Amino acid sequence: MRTGIAKIPVQNAFCERCADVIRNRILKDQSVQNLMLFPSESMITFNFNWANQVSEVLNILTRLGYPPEGDEVTTSSYTLPFCKCENKNENYGLMAS
Ligand SMILES: [Zn+2]
C-alpha cells in the first residue's frame, strides 16, 4: 500500500479548543492516521493511504472555513472560520483597560 504524509498550512488561525472540533470533523469522515493540528502554526499534518484522502480532507477544511494556504477562495465558496476565540480574547483585553 502506498502511503504518504500530508502537511497542510491553512489560511485561518484556530485555537487548541477548535483544533479538537476540526480533528473530530475530519476523523468522522476520513480514516487518516496520526492526524495532528498545530494551532500556533495553522498547520495540519496526517498520514494518508491514498491521494484521494488528501483532497477529501482539504474539502472538509474548506467547508469549515480553513482552506489550504495558496487556494483561491471565491466569495461564493467562502466560509467564515468558526474559531473566534482569538478575537474574543483581544476584545476582552481592550474592554479591561
Ligand atoms: Zn477557537
Q: Where are the alpha helices (DSSP H) in the chain?
A: 16-29, 51-63, 85-96
pLDDT digits (tens, 9 = 90+) for 6-46: 999 999 999 999 999 999 999 999 999 999 999 999 999 99
Distance 24 CA to ligand 1 centre (A): 14
Distance 77 CA to ligand 1 centre (A): 21
Distance 17 CA to ligand 1 centre (A): 5
pLDDT digits (tens, 9 = 90+) for 64-90: 999 999 877 666 666 788 888 765 544
Distance 30 CA to ligand 1 centre (A): 22
Contact between residue 83 and residue 39 where contact means Cβ atoms under 8 Å apart: no
Distance 69 CA to ligand 1 centre (A): 19
Distance 1 CA to ligand 1 centre (A): 36
Q: Is the pLDDT of residue 97 over 50?
A: no
Q: Write down all domains in the chain, each with its CATH number in brackets.
A: 4-96 (3.30.70.100)
